[in-house]
Amino acid sequence: MLLHRTYGQRRQIALVLGLILALVLSACAPSGADDPAEPETTEAPATTDAAPATTEGDSEPEEPTDTTEAEETSEGGTVVKVGFLSPVTGPLAAIGTEMKQGWELYWEEHGVDAGSYTVETVYEDDAGNPDTALTKARRLVEDENVDVVVGPLAANTALAVADYLVQQGVPNFHPVTAADDLTQRLANPLVIRVGAMTGSQATYVAGQWAYDQGYRKAITLCSDYAFGWENCGGFVRTFTAAGGEIVDQLWNPLGTPDFSSYATQIASSGADVAFIGSSGGTDGTNFMRAYEDFGLGDQIEVLGNCCLLDQATLRDAGDIAVGLRSVTYWAEGRESPEVERFIELYDEAYGGIPSLYVANSYTAAHVFAEALKASEGELDPEGLVAAAREVNLEDSVFGPRRIDEWNNPIGNVYITRVEQREDGSYWNVVEETYEEVSQFWTFDPQEILDSPPYDRTNTGQQ
């Protein structure tokens, strides 16, 4: 019986395999020549697919869609379709939701018309997962035919999505992502950072400021991945260049539950200032928990980055944080009509004080709207980014902003201090302002671009 069965099966397998082979062979020929090229028939014959040809081929169908889009709606304002990617589920849901709020808030306030265009936004959830983000980006580009993608949030998703969008020839506006390389070693005319600063940009100020205050020995604690490396890299570079000494550098894995051992080490390090390059959110609150438990505030000056004491952390940390200083480009307590209006607007719509992430996307929308106002007629992808690069904001919620030739913002960096407001909530007020801070600080851009990216071995030590 056994023999009989296997014999029969073998025959079956052989037949099936033969069939598959036949199909493969028969289908291969035409598939190269005419068929799935269907969506891109106008393009180079697929059989001669050299890699670069195909990447171009892939990007090509985009432009026809752009034009059809433009023609279709030319009766009213030309519709510009924006795909907005952010994680509204998953571990980053809170930040992703606030990011979305910032974008929505701007268009609610100013209306969706900008210049001769009407902005239409399609929202997608990337769950904070790079694979999902990429699939969703594909949907936005290939099914929704969006003209621009705004987002996503996390650097890992952003790098993956940017890589894909550049291949497709679709402009990519980044409201939150800080990864240095996006506007440095991987700078691309289609990729522009419009809200956040790079990971090391604001922290260059931190090192300088700490030295100017008379601190000479520093210990750092940064997240152990690109964002943390860049944060610490900026601080260490300027602090040591000025003549300061780094006593020790600690790296906490992202999502470290228990910061007690780091707090203990910081307290006993003998340094006189501790720079904390936190990724914010949970890592921020977990650090603050250990900070309080071990009474770090009484033993050492703690200086936070953009995210340690942002509203996302501050809402929970509250009174523990009062008096703590940070180096950041978003100061919700800055005295400026622009900021006050923005906070009021947010409070009405969602309640509370807007976080860094709301401000980032709000500014992204602001820059985007200005870029549209400066454009005319049919939008070409690089032209749109170029128009955004020319945007010069006298006062945004971040203060004066313009954009450098690598598509990265130049603007104010503030030394802030946490204070309690009359209504019991907490915010960061400005103590000192550094103006016109570029992503290269005062260093020679080429020197930075030529050196390897910051990491645990290349810490910026001078």
Q: Residue 46 and residue 381: Cα distance in Å, rounded?
A: 25
- Among 151, 284, 333, 409, the residue binding another protein under the rule CB under 8 A is 284
Q: Is 58 in the site for another protein (CB under 8 A)?
A: yes
How many other CB atoms sit within 10 Å of the CB of residue 61?
19
Q: Least distance in Å: CB of 120 to another protein?
A: 16
User: Should residue 232 be labelled a site residue for another protein when binding is judged by CB under 8 A?
Assistant: no
Under the binding rule (CB under 8 A), the answer on residue 455 touching another protein is yes
Q: Does residue number 226 form part of the binding site for another protein (CB under 8 A)?
A: yes
In the complex, minimum distance from the CB of residue 339 to another protein, in angstroms, rounded to a whole number:
22
Q: Does 33 bind another protein (CB under 8 A)?
A: no
Tell me, residue by residue from 251 to 280, as one string, x for binding to another protein by CB under 8 A and - for no binding. Answer: x-xxx-xx-xxx-xx--x------------
Residue 23 interacts with another protein (CB under 8 A): yes or no: yes
Per CB under 8 A, 45 contacts another protein:
no
Ramachandran bin of 424, using left for φ above 0, alpha for ψ from -120 to 50, beta for the remaining angles: left
Per CB under 8 A, which of residues 316..355 are in contact with another protein? 316, 318
Task: Tell me the closest approach of the beta carbon of residue 396 to another protein, in angstroms.
Answer: 25
Question: Taking the C-alpha atoms of 63, 64, 67 and 73 in order, what is their torsion angle to the nearest 10 degrees?
Answer: -120
Region binding another protein by CB under 8 A among candidate stretches 233-241, 247-255, 321-329, 338-346: 247-255
425 lies in the site for another protein, by CB under 8 A: no
Binders of another protein: how many residues, by CB under 8 A? 103
Q: Which is nearer to another protein, 204 or 251 (CB)?
A: 251
Residue 153 C-beta: closest distance to another protein, Å? 12
Q: Is residue 51 within the footprint of another protein (CB under 8 A)?
A: yes
Q: Which residues of 397-424 are buried (b: 16+ CB within 10 A; e: fewer)?
A: bbbebbbbebbbbbbbbbbbbbeeeeee
Q: Which 161-200 residues touch another protein, going by CB under 8 A? A: 163-164, 179
* Residue 29 within binding range of another protein, rule CB under 8 A: no
Q: Which of 78, 86, 121, 132: binder of another protein (CB under 8 A)?
A: 132
**Using CB under 8 A, which of 65, 73, 79, 91 touches another protein?**
91
Collapse the DSSP code of 140 into the 3-class scheme (helix H, G, I; strand E, B; otherwise coil) and give the result.
Answer: helix
C-alpha angle 421-422-428 in degrees, rounded to nearest 5: 10
Nearer to another protein, 13 or 449 (CB): 13
Secondary element (H or E) of residue 109: helix 93-110
To the nearest whole angstrom, how small is the minimum distance from the Cβ of residue 267 to another protein?
A: 9
Strands 217-223 and 399-403: unpaired
Please, which residue, 399 or 453, has the CB nearer to another protein? Answer: 453
CB of 321 to another protein, least distance (A): 12
Exactly one of 136, 193, 237, 417 binds another protein (CB under 8 A); that residue is: 136
- DSSP code, position 143: I
Residue 259 structure tokens: 């910061």
Strand partners, 345: none
Could you list the beta-strand ranges (E) of 34-130: 78-86, 113-114, 117-125
* 449 part of the interface to another protein, by CB under 8 A: no
Q: Which of 121, 129, 203, 459 binds another protein (CB under 8 A)?
A: 129
Of 255 and 377, nearer to another protein (C-beta) is 255
Nearest to 164 by CA among 143, 142, 137: 137
Contact 406, 426 (CB under 8 A): no
Q: What are phi and psi of 151, to 5 degrees?
A: 110, -165
Interface with another protein, residue 297, by CB under 8 A:
no
60 lies in the binding site for another protein (CB under 8 A)? no
State CA 56 to chain mean position distance. Answer: 26
User: b/e map of 8-31 (b: 16 or more CB within 10 Å)?
Assistant: eeeeeeeeeeeeeeeeeeeeeeee
Question: Dihedral of the CA atoms 447, 449, 454, 457 (nearest 10)?
Answer: -60
Minimum separation from the CB atom of position 345 to another protein (A): 20
